[in-house]
Amino acid sequence: MDIQYGNGAALHWLWIAVLCWGVMVAGVIFNRRRWRVFATENLVDQLVPRRSVARQTLRILLLTAAMILLSIALVDMRWGKQARQVPQQGIEVMFVLDVSRSMLAQDVTPNRLERAKQQINDMLDAMAGDRVGLVLFAGDVRQEVPMTSHYDDFRRSLKGISPESVSRGGSRLGDAIRIASEGFLTQVNDHKAMVILTDGEDQESEPVQMAQRAYQDHGIRIFTIGLGDMEQGARIPADSRRQGDYLQYEGQQVWSRLDGQILLAIATETDGAFIPAGTKQVDMGDVYRGYVSSVPQTEFEMATIDQYQPRFQWFVALALVCCVAQIGVGRSAVAAEQS
């Protein structure tokens, strides 16, 4: 049987109940042995009849059972699933991830691309109820994950992303914004955000103009995360599997730097925000809560969840029965002694 615990931290009360039972039983045994020190067995039986000991033992058992049952009630054991329809609220967030070869630069650890993937995962941890999608771009653009509320499937797809995930090298940020704008499910303006993670390099694809159009036509607010060293930059590995071999152009090694001007312009034109992460660690939970979550939420379709049914009331009722029975045994013992 599948069981859930609503308050697993209360399990220690079970051990306390067992300990109390041990203390009470030890007290009964100790008292009887103490009587035997001062009197014979027959005299002890007259002073403390065996029926009295039996009643005392029964009262201890009933009291212990009540304590154990109340402890179980505190644990809040639940079993038996019941389907329930719940409304979903949130926004649609399209992640746009740069997978061009410059994202392999190692001015951040382990490289810009892996840092960007980790930042997406960190932002997912802060989300609840939002739909997410993923678009990849370099010289070509590809929608890797359509809008979904299944974060585990999204993470699995994200894990295997590399520069080989698109067919052509380069950096067409404007094309990525245009195609990502078409990937939202809701047709209503607002409730939509785009999060772009890139080093800002672009090959004349008009990213600022595409961003303006996305905001004016679809109400998409764009938040840009800039990765890489803005001053010195870093060399670009020619092959992600080989160390020490760097990309060259006309006999010179190619260096890549964060270009924050384009990313700032995109964010400014779309009522978004530019986060110049650079080579620093950025708390993406704070980025989500401080910026992305400010996008107005909307209601999505109802979701069906299986809810476990609480059963604590059964154990409370049985504990009350044990308490009443324990009181009854005590009163009968008093009546027997008086007679």
H helices of 41-150, where? 41-47, 50-75, 112-126
Distance CA 139, CA 203 (A): 9
What 3-state class would DSSP assign to 67? helix
Instruction: Convert the pLDDT of each residue in 120-154 to its tens digit.
Output: 999 999 998 899 999 999 999 999 999 998 899 99
pLDDT at 336 over 80: no
Q: Between 247 and 215, whose confidence is greater? A: 215
What 3-state class would DSSP assign to 40? coil
Environment class of 310 (CB within 10 Å of its CB; exposed 0-12, middle 13-18, buried 19+)? middle
Environment class of 19 (CB within 10 Å of its CB; exposed 0-12, middle 13-18, buried 19+)? exposed
Q: Do the beta carbons of residue 229 and residue 258 sit within 8 Å? A: yes
Q: Between 199 and 67, whose confidence is greater? A: 199
Tokens 């013992």 — which residue? Answer: 333
Q: Domains in the chain, please, with CATH? A: 3-81+309-338 (no CATH), 92-296 (3.40.50.410)
Please tell me the pTM assigned to this model: 0.65
Instruction: Convert the pLDDT of each residue in 320-330 to its tens digit.
Output: 998 888 888 76
pLDDT at 312 over 60: yes
Distance CA 2, CA 79 (A): 6
Instruction: Convert the pLDDT of each residue in 212-240 to its tens digit.
Output: 999 999 999 999 999 999 888 888 887 65
Instruction: Convert the pLDDT of each residue in 167-199 to its tens digit.
Output: 888 889 999 999 999 999 877 777 899 999 999
Instruction: Convert the pLDDT of each residue in 42-63 to its tens digit.
Output: 555 554 555 566 677 778 788 8
